[in-house]
Chain A
């Protein structure tokens, strides 16, 4: 179970006006601005839930994911994931989560995918039996058999994303964070990834937290959406709650943002 209570986070960002003279001034006196990335965010996610975490760029999605994965400490508030405060015990917390950042890669670039997996086996100290079983299951579900011997750099984006997702699941995480997993994928790959996530959630009861800008991902995968804007939760409920009659999900969402002044 994931509980987040009254979590706030502020970043300090250095600022200056345009031009040479302000650049010179900034040499002596820097001006900073405080950006409230998250203010008083609370939610609870039960085991086995699939939640879409959505919001415009800069709304605080990444900050939340970073807090949940233990690599960012909030200024105030509490967070408990399966009884662990993520940032206080990063190493043992990370054993129980899987993370996929669509824009980054966790595979080692120059070696065959299977070598990356073998390394992950050691990193997560997965016993050989579990590793074999998971690898077999994931290879089957994500259709990886032809890809495992190929170096990651030679895979297409869709192939790589399937390999990335498998990499994040080898150690049987109870919670999976997916940060824009379908970004840049073609229709076939997108459908394959979605179908897999649904199946994973159904069979393994894995909790999935998905951030995306793709409303079709949300419609296909999640019942519950948490909508965040300017660091605050604007909606925690069902996507249908904001759907406007006769408009697509995308248009409804844009209208919703507009009505909240973001």
Chain B
């Protein structure tokens, strides 16, 4: 009982410290909601892209290999599951596309405006993290509904099918949040690398294409050869969109799913830890060397 008041005070302190980052989230979330034209354009693009991808997969599923075995029987996911995967991916694209980065952060580091941020009582890592989360969420909120709606109305097997169970749906939401956090934590490393290089472009280009290919954004990871897939699933990239999309489409369940969620959590902790260390080194560098 004696420790209770102390516990309460320290918790309140932590909460009040969190408040400023929540305020950042709110501001950037509302800021994102004002870009309506961009959202319309995004919806149109994502819808077209999703449809094209599904038609492409349809061609593969309907093809027959030279040995006479139908393509569909060799594919790791059913066609309906692949269609669901693609629609969900397009609807929540803004949460996971690594290339959707905040250019303001890059310019503030390069032109030195970041000094202004350091003149305030804030931790820049936490600030940028909540900002990035917020702008991704607001983009996704604006874009997901029309895409989901149309996808649900499409006839089977081209449309979006309901999740396997309520439990699968809840786990989808959980891993969606985890995957978003892993994506943002990864992007943070790229932002912070700008402190150490003259231009972020090189690292950015390499990182973007790696994420794109290795996270299952181009083709879902189950379509990779088994040995390759085993390795890919351990990488941080697989902890982004791969887990929630496959849980939703029913491709990932049971032990494999629990393992995937565990890996997501480990990567989140690791990436945030590395990011905070790098950030501290970066702030040291600025304060010691003046730039």
The answer, among B20, B120, B123, B290, for a CB contact under 8 Å with A66, is: B290
Binds B, one of A111-119, A197-205, A217-225: A111-119
Q: How far is the CA of A69 from the CA of B118 in the complex (A)?
A: 9
Interface size class of B (residues with CB under 8 A): 20 to 34
Q: Is A43 an interface residue (CB 8 A)?
A: no
State which residues 88-134 of A face B: CB under 8 Å: 90-92, 94-95, 97, 99, 101, 104-106, 108, 110-111, 115, 118-119, 121-125
B60 at the interface (CB under 8 A from A): no
Contact A115/B27 with A72-B290, A87-B287 known, Cβ cut-off 8 Å:
yes
Once the chains bind, are B290 and A9 in contact (CB under 8 Å)? yes
Bound-state CA distance A71–B115 (Å) is 7
Q: CB distance A69 to B119 under 8 Å?
A: yes
Is A211 in contact with chain B by the CB < 8 A criterion? no
- Annotate A50-88 by CB proximity to B: 1 below 8 A, 0 otherwise: 000000000000010010011111000000000000010
CB distance from B16 to the nearest CB of A (A): 6
Q: Tell me how many residues of A have a C-beta within 8 Å of chain B.
A: 34
Question: Could you pull out 30 A-B pairs where Cβ atoms are within 8 angstroms?
Answer: A9-B290, A11-B289, A11-B290, A37-B290, A63-B290, A66-B115, A70-B118, A71-B119, A72-B287, A73-B287, A94-B119, A99-B119, A101-B115, A104-B112, A104-B113, A105-B113, A106-B116, A110-B31, A110-B34, A111-B31, A115-B27, A115-B30, A118-B23, A118-B27, A119-B23, A119-B24, A119-B27, A122-B22, A124-B121, A125-B121
Of all A-B residue pairs in the complex, the 7 with the closest CB atoms, nearest first, are A122-B23, A122-B20, A99-B119, A71-B118, A91-B121, A94-B121, A123-B20
Q: Which residues of B contact A (CB under 8 A)?
A: 16, 19-20, 22-24, 27, 30-31, 34, 112-113, 115-116, 118-123, 286-291
B-contacting residues of A (Cβ < 8 Å)?
9, 11-12, 37, 63, 66, 69-73, 87, 90-92, 94-95, 97, 99, 101, 104-106, 108, 110-111, 115, 118-119, 121-125
